[in-house]
Amino acid sequence: MQWQPSYALGIDEIDQQHQKLLTHAAEIIGAIQQEQSWSDIYYLIEALRKFASFHFQFEEALMRMFGYPEHDGHARSHESFFTRLAALDRQAIHKLEINVVQMLTDWVMNHILCSDRDYGEYLKRIPGISLRTGRA
């Protein structure tokens, strides 16, 4: 999954975190393709889990800080990511299939393009917000 400029919300910090999230997922797919050991793959799944956890907490903190009305539903959506990730854990010890990782990546992309875009637009409408928005 290649990052495209059209995926950007226009908030630099968040866009960088999203690129990193997709890179973590792509590394798992790359490791499967290279037939790396399950322990190496598990390590990459852990790296994705840690980064996703950081990223979701970062987003939820921003939403709380600026009173985003859909915070609770968005946080539940983040929780569902970890349920999906648990399926990867279970498979990794046997044989992790690329399509399972791809499904998780598709979920992330869909979340970025729909749910995250929505709070991004909300944040960018707040007067005087200090986040860099990528605008000149």
Question: Which residues lie near Fe ion (CB under 5 A)?
Answer: 59, 116
Q: Which is nearer to Fe ion, 14 or 41 (CB)?
A: 14
Nearest-approach distance from CB 14 to Fe ion, in angstroms: 6
Distances (CA, A) of 85 to 14, 52, 94, 104: 21, 10, 15, 7
The answer to whether 87 and 48 are in contact (CB under 8 A) is no
Q: Which is nearer to Fe ion, 18 or 101 (CB)?
A: 18
Contacts of 99 (CB under 8 A, 6+ apart): none
Q: Which is nearer to Fe ion, 44 or 116 (CB)?
A: 116
Nearest-approach distance from CB 115 to Fe ion, in angstroms: 5
Which tokens belong to 3?
């990052």
Nearest-approach distance from CB 27 to Fe ion, in angstroms: 18
